[in-house]
C-alpha cells in the first residue's frame, strides 16, 4: 500500500464543450479538450491510487524522514514549516503562495524556466501594468502588452499566451475570472488537480504547487531540482520522467513531509554544488548514500553524473 496519503478517486470531469472564443491576440481560442489535455487527465485518473511503478519500493517513509532531517539540519535558515498564503507575497517568488487561486497559477507559470529574481520582477511588472488580480484587464489586453510586462521572466511570448488562454477558459467555464471554489474544503485534492490541469499550459507540477502553497493541501510537486535529487537518491526508477516521478512520489512520501521535503530539496538543489554538474565537493546527500546506504564513493559520483544526464535529457 502506498505510504503517502491515499487520494480518493473521483469521476473524470466532463469534456469542455464551450464555443470558440475570441482570443486577445485575434483569432480564436477553443476550450475543447485537446489531446494533451486528455492525456494529462488520463494520467491523473490512472495514477490516483496506484503508482506508475507499483513494484518500486522507494522512498520508504523512513528514507523520506531521514532525508528531510538531513536537509533541515544542513539548511537551518530555510524554514521547511508550512507557510500560510499571504496577500503580501509575490506569487512568482513563493511558488504560488497567495490565497487567490488564479494569481497563484499565474505566479507559478511565471516562475517556470527562469530564476526567482526574474520571475519576481515579471510578476511585479504585470501587477503594475494591469493591477494586481485585475484578470479582466490582463485577459482583454493586447498580447504584446502582456509580453512587454513579463519579458524579464523569459519565454514571455509563451507565458503571455498561456496566461491569457487560461483566463479566457476560466471565464468561459465559470462566467467569472475566479477559481476560488477550489479553495473550499469540500473539494477533493483530485478534483482540484483535474480542474487545474484541464487548462492548457497547466501541468501536474504547476497544479501541485497551487495545491501545496495556495490551498494548503498535502501535495508533492516535482520541479527540476526535486527530480534530479530524487534520481540521485534512487527514489524513482531511471526510466521515470518528471510527470511519472511526481505521481509516484506523491503516493510514497508521507503527507506531513511533502511541504518540507519539497522546499528543502529545492533549496538544496539550488545551493549545493557538490551534487550537481558532476560536482566533486561535499554534499550531505552524497554522505548519506555512502554512510547509511553503503554506496562506494566512486559509485556515488557516477550516480551524480547519471542523475544530471537524465535530467538534461528530460528537459531537452
Cβ neighbour number for residue 127 with a 10 Å cutoff: 18
Phi, psi of 22, deg, nearest 5:
-65, 135
Measured CA to CA, the distance from residue 259 to residue 98 in angstroms comes to 15
Distances (CA, A) of 107 to 86, 147, 206: 13, 15, 10
165 carries an active-site annotation: no
Measured CA to CA, the distance from residue 230 to residue 53 in angstroms comes to 14
Helix ranges restricted to H, the chain: 35-46, 61-74, 101-110, 116-130, 135-140, 143-150, 156-174, 189-197, 204-209, 224-233, 242-252, 255-271, 284-291, 297-315
Catalytic annotation, pick one of 165, 205, 276, 286: 205
Measured CA to CA, the distance from residue 127 to residue 125 in angstroms comes to 5
Pick from 68, 63, 66, 46: nearest CA to 258: 68
Our measurement of the distance from residue 188's CA atom to the centroid of its chain's CA atoms, rounded to an integer in Å, reads: 18
Cβ neighbour number for residue 8 with a 10 Å cutoff: 11
User: Which residues are identified as catalytic?
Assistant: 205
Amino acid at each position: 500500500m502506498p505510504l503517502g496519503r491515499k487520494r480518493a478517486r473521483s469521476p473524470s470531469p466532463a469534456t469542455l464543450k464551450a464555443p470558440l472564443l475570441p482570443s486577445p491576440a485575434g483569432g480564436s481560442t477553443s476550450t475543447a479538450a485537446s489531446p494533451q489535455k486528455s492525456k494529462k487527465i488520463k494520467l491523473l485518473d490512472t495514477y490516483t491510487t496506484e503508482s506508475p511503478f507499483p513494484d518500486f519500493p522507494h522512498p520508504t517513509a523512513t528514507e523520506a524522514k531521514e532525508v528531510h532531517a538531513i536537509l533541515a539540519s544542513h539548511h537551518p535558515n530555510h524554514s521547511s514549516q508550512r507557510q500560510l498564503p499571504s496577500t503580501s507575497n509575490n506569487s512568482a517568488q513563493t511558488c504560488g503562495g497567495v490565497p487567490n487561486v488564479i494569481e497563484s497559477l499565474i505566479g507559478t507559470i511565471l516562475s517556470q524556466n527562469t530564476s526567482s529574481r526574474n520571475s519576481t520582477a515579471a510578476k511585479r511588472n504585470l501587477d503594475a501594468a494591469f493591477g494586481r488580480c485585475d484578470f479582466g484587464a490582463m485577459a482583454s489586453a493586447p498580447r504584446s502588452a502582456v509580453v512587454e510586462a513579463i519579458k524579464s521572466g523569459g519565454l514571455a511570448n509563451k507565458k503571455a499566451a498561456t496566461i491569457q488562454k487560461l483566463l479566457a477558459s476560466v471565464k468561459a467555464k465559470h462566467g467569472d475570472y475566479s477559481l476560488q471554489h477550489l479553495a473550499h474544503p469540500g473539494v477533493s485534492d483530485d478534483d482540484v488537480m483535474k480542474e487545474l490541469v484541464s487548462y492548457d499550459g497547466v501541468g501536474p507540477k504547476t497544479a501541485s504547487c497551487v495545491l501545496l502553497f495556495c490551498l494548503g493541501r498535502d501535495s508533492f510537486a516535482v520541479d527540476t531540482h526535486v527530480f534530479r535529487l530524487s534520481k540521485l537518491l534512487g527514489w524513482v526508477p531511471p526510466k521515470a520522467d518528471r510527470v511519472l516521478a511526481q505521481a509516484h512520489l506523491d503516493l510514497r512520501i508521507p503527507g506531513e513531509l511533502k511541504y518540507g521535503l519539497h522546499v528543502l530539496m529545492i533549496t538544496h538543489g539550488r545551493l549545493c554544488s557538490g551534487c550537481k554538474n558532476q560536482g566533486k565537493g561535499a554534499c550531505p546527500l552524497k554522505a548519506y548514500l555512502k554512510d547509511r546506504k553503503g554506496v562506494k564513493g566512486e559509485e556515488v559520483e557516477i550516480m551524480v553524473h547519471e542523475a544530471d544526464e537524465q535530467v538534461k535529457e528530460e528537459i531537452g
